[in-house]
């Protein structure tokens, strides 16, 4: 099954980012394809390479980057949501790119299912 993932919460304020990451890892392990992961609203904070979690905490930004590199996953950050939160190309972590809501619409069309994490 081809899946689209939409993440609407940041990595340090809500469980949605962790759940989305773990879901994506599990889906890949079961042989599903991830068409695109789209970060919207506070979810754009998942792309900020300047974030520095505590040493005993998970680093979701790096985890998403590695997962994207290992599985050729398209990580798209909503341009409007990113700019509102001060996130620009120069602070994007490896594997992330900024684009518009059209990328979310396309993922919804191309994927068999789109799973939303966060409210």
Residues 54-74: tens digit of each pLDDT: 777 789 999 999 999 999 999
Number of domains in the chain: 1
Indicate if 78 belongs to the active site: yes
Give the pair of three-digit tokens for residue 18. 């962790």
In whole angstroms, what is the distance from residue 43 CA to residue 37 CA?
11
In whole angstroms, what is the distance from residue 109 CA to residue 88 CA?
27
For the domain that residue 100 is a member of, what is the CATH number? 3.40.1260.10
Does this model's pTM top 0.85?
A: yes
Check pLDDT > 90 for residue 51: no
* pLDDT range class, residue 107, cuts 50, 70, 90: very high
Question: Range of 88's domain?
Answer: 2-117
Query: How far is CA 73 from each of CA 7, 9, 37, 47, 86, rounded to the nearest angstrom?
Result: 14, 19, 7, 14, 24
Residues 6+ apart with CB under 8 A from 29: none
Averaged pLDDT for residues 32-47: 97
Q: Of the listed 78, 79, 81, 87, which one is catalytic?
A: 78
């Amino acid at each position: 099954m081809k899946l689209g993932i939409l993440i609407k919460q940041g990595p340090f304020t809500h469980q949605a980012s962790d759940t989305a990451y773990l879901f994506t890892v599990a889906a890949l392990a079961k042989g599903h394809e991830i068409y695109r992961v789209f970060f919207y609203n506070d979810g754009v904070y998942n792309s900020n390479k300047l974030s520095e979690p505590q040493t005993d905490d998970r680093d979701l930004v790096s985890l998403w980057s590695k997962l994207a590199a290992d599985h050729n996953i398209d990580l798209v950050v909503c341009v409007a949501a990113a700019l509102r939160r001060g996130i620009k190309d120069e602070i994007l972590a490896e594997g992330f790119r900024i684009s518009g809501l059209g990328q979310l619409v396309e993922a919804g069309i191309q994927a068999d299912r789109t799973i939303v994490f966060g409210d």
